[in-house]
Amino acid sequence: MGVAVYDTYVRKKDSSVMHFDILVPDTLTNKETIYGYGREYLKSKGQEGLALTAQECAFCHVEQPTLEMEAALQLKGYYIIEMQGCQ
């Protein structure tokens, strides 16, 4: 199984930029589901209500998942890699 990586940039409530990747099984192509996972993550970071559409989130590439990624995909359906401004 491969994972599809969606590169995501969101402007936070304080106007700084939050950069993270949303990883989902490469068989998942429903964008609204993928954006929903991103919104769920944003809510967990106190950033609920921010826009998350194709403008903020775009497919990047497919890669092989690590064991940690596979476990998260089985549990939640997605995995997040925090890149910048995610604190």
At residue 74's C-alpha, the angle toward residues 2 and 79, to 5°, is 65
Cα separation values, 57 from 11, 30, 39, 68, Å: 12, 13, 11, 23
Q: Could you give the domains of the chain?
A: 3-84 (3.10.510.10)
pTM: 0.94
pLDDT reported for residue 54: 92
Tell me, what amino acid is at 80? I
- Using pLDDT thresholds of 50, 70 and 90, give the confidence band for residue 77: very high
Secondary structure (DSSP) of 10-73: EE-TTS-EEEEEEEEETT---HHHHHHHHHHHHHHTT-TT---STTTEEEEEEEPPPHHHHHHH
- pLDDT tens, residue by residue, 40-72: 999 999 999 998 999 999 999 999 999 999 999
